[in-house]
A = this chain, B = another copy of it.
Amino acid sequence: MLYSSELIKGTLRTIILKLLCDQQRMYGYEITQKVKELTNNRIQLTEGALYPSLHAMESEGLLVTETEYIGKRVRKYYSISKTGKAKATEKVNELAEFMETMRVLLNIDLRTLTVQ
């Protein structure tokens, strides 16, 4: 089951920043696969959203890139800057608080929730 994508809106940057906080460096395609794997195919990032988002965060100084060649194929690695790290923390905290607020508002019982 895939989530109705409206929900993903607004969380893409948070996901990317948090992943890059933990993983040192990753390239775009790798990010899509990692998210897919970590969420048991529940969240499938689209490239049309991912790449522009990566480019934007690079130009904002949140991410830094280095390009490498694997054979003849280009691979663009992204890693997180100091500013990016701060932004990651901020965004994750904000999302956490938002989720907690929604949990209370909608009276969602997380104890009975197991996603697998």
Looking at the assembled complex, report how far the CB atom of A85 sits from the nearest CB atom of chain B, in whole angstroms. Answer: 14
Is there a chain B Cβ closer than 8 Å to A49's Cβ? Answer: no
Number of residues from A at the complex interface, CB < 8 A: 36
Is there a chain B Cβ closer than 8 Å to A43's Cβ? Answer: yes
Looking at the assembled complex, report how far the CB atom of A3 sits from the nearest CB atom of chain B, in whole angstroms. Answer: 5
Task: State how many copies of this chain the complex holds.
Answer: 2
Is B95 a contact partner of A7 (Cβ separation < 8 A)? Answer: yes
Is A115 a contact partner of B97 (Cβ separation < 8 A)? Answer: yes
A52-60, A61-69, A75-83, A99-107 - the one binding chain B: A99-107
Is A110 a contact partner of B113 (Cβ separation < 8 A)? Answer: no
Instruction: Kindly list 18 other residue pairs between chains A and B, CB separation below 8 angstroms, not including A97-B115, A99-B103, A100-B110.
Output: A3-B101, A4-B94, A6-B9, A6-B10, A7-B10, A7-B11, A7-B94, A10-B10, A14-B106, A18-B105, A35-B105, A38-B104, A43-B101, A43-B105, A92-B106, A96-B110, A96-B113, A99-B108
